[in-house]
Amino acid sequence: MRYVVASGSFYKVGCNVGKACKDDIPDLYERTVAYLLKHTSLGTAENMHQVAAQYLDQAKDLWWPAGDFIHGLAKGAGVDVDMIALMSFTEEISSEFLPVVLPEKCSTLVVRTPNGDRMIVHNEDYEPHSKVVLLDVTFDGFPRLICVAYIGQLLAGVSLNARGVAITNNSLWPKAQLGLPKQVQHFRASLTRNLVEAVQCLEMQPIALTTHYVVANGRDVVSLAVSNSQTSAVNTDMRRIFDPSFCHTNHVLDGYLGLKMPDPAIMHSKHSFLRYEKLNNLTPEELPRTPKEALDLFSNPDNNVLFRNDEKSKTLVTVVIRPETKEFWVRDADPTTRNHVWYFAL
């Protein structure tokens, strides 16, 4: 996993990140196109680029810094903007043209530690060809941000900023609708000053993708499921997270949103339910009490439920966040570096 420190305008930071990841981006682009051709109904790369161009136009209208960042990424990596656009909006594209086999994505657990504050544990899981970058960035006029993001994409991964706003994301798979790009809303939310502002960014309508977040700011931690009126009975389902624990994987939890269509995870993503059952059935004695225990629970390769490594999904990193103390731990799942843990205190 690459580690990049950068500051300045959105364009400048994008250039620095693109330059640091330029050796990875062309290969990841080719792998992304191949994946979408095989697993979605798009048909051709030209169709992918047409959809990505529409989302890029929406991104610029919704929040211009996202467009600047994408152009900076392309400049730094020495590639065309349309390549970065396709990579940045892969999730929107693949959900709009549903894949034949749904990838098994992230797992999240929220617990209260013995000293009374909350701890968020998260495995970032994605397609096996994916790669992430660890970023320590400060955009002009915004709080410092620690983020695990996907190479060649907007900063819409798992994050904590210097104002104590933390976000994790578990992707859901009801069919995407024409609407706002989730990646831009997530990027914008990661730089907000408090929980209210973050939620306002994440729930803007009409959102294209149905998705789930854990959002925290200090002592406030919420479960936030977001959809659109074409897909569900309600657009936003926000619930406070209380003791002893809360967990989420990548299916729509019973009683959330009121889907107007079957959740594809029921048929195609069975492992999501296995991971949820594993986390939901942890006894109080089994819940992790420290960041080390949390990292060990989620990143143990012998635990083939939470730790993913198959043809559908791969665990890329394990992250632990304590939003009240503004602490952030990252363990790379790469077996050559997995014993190394990055630690940040903001």
Other C-beta atoms closer than 10 Å to the C-beta of 312 total 16
For range 226-237, the mean pLDDT:
96
94-105: average pLDDT: 74
d(CA 293, CA 274): 21
78 is in which domain, residue-wise? 2-96
User: pLDDT, tens digit, for every residue of 315-328?
Assistant: 999 999 999 999 99
pLDDT of 215 = 98
The answer to the question of residue 15 being in a domain is yes
Q: Which helix (H) or strand (E) holds 1?
A: none
- Taking only the tens place, the pLDDT of each residue in 121-177 is 999 998 888 899 999 999 999 999 999 999 999 999 999 999 999 999 998 988 888
> Residue type for 285, please?
E
Structural domain contains residue 133: no
> Which residue has better confidence, 337 or 71?
71
pLDDT at 338: 65
In this prediction, residues 238-256 reach a mean pLDDT of 92
> Residue 78 falls within a domain, yes or no?
yes
Average pLDDT over residues 244-258: 93
**Least confident among 19-23, 43-47, 86-90, 249-253:** 43-47
Q: In which residue are the tokens 């959105």 written?
A: 10
Percent of the chain with pLDDT over 70: 98
- Confidence band, pLDDT 50/70/90 cuts, at residue 91: confident
Rounded CA gap, 262 and 99, in Å? 15
Distance of alpha carbon 334 from alpha carbon 1, whole angstroms: 8
pLDDT of 270 reads: 85
What are the tens digits of pLDDT across the range 56-77? 999 999 999 999 999 999 999 9
Does 87 reside within a domain? yes
The answer to the question of residue 48 being in a domain is: yes
What single letter denotes the amino acid at residue 301? P
Whole-angstrom CA distances from 117 to 190, 226, 343 are 21, 26, 18
Q: Each residue of 271-309: pLDDT tens digit?
A: 899 999 999 999 999 999 999 999 999 998 887 799 998
Q: Which residue(s) pair with 147 in the sheet?
A: 135, 159
What H or E segment, with its residue span, contains residue 220? strand 220-226
The answer to whether residue 85 sits within a structural domain is yes
Q: Is 82 inside a domain boundary?
A: yes
What is the per-residue pLDDT for 162?
Answer: 98
Q: Count up the domains in the chain and report the number.
A: 1
Match 């933390």 to its residue by tokens: 166
Strand blocks (E) in 241-299: 245-248
- Region 195-209 average pLDDT: 96
Looking at every residue in the chain, the average pLDDT score rounds to 93
**What is the mean predicted confidence (pLDDT) over 98-105?**
71
Provide the pLDDT for residue 267: 84
Question: What is the model's pLDDT at position 97?
Answer: 80
Whether residue 101 has pLDDT greater than 70: no
Asked if residue 102 has pLDDT above 80, the reply is no
pLDDT of residue 100: 61
Residue 212 has a pLDDT of: 97
User: What average pLDDT does this structure show over 210-222?
Assistant: 95
Task: Give 44: exposed, middle or buried? Use CB within 10 Å, 0-12, 13-18, 19+.
Answer: exposed
**Mean of the pLDDT values across residues 114-123?**
93
Residue 55 placed within a domain: yes
Provide mean pLDDT across the span 325-338.
89
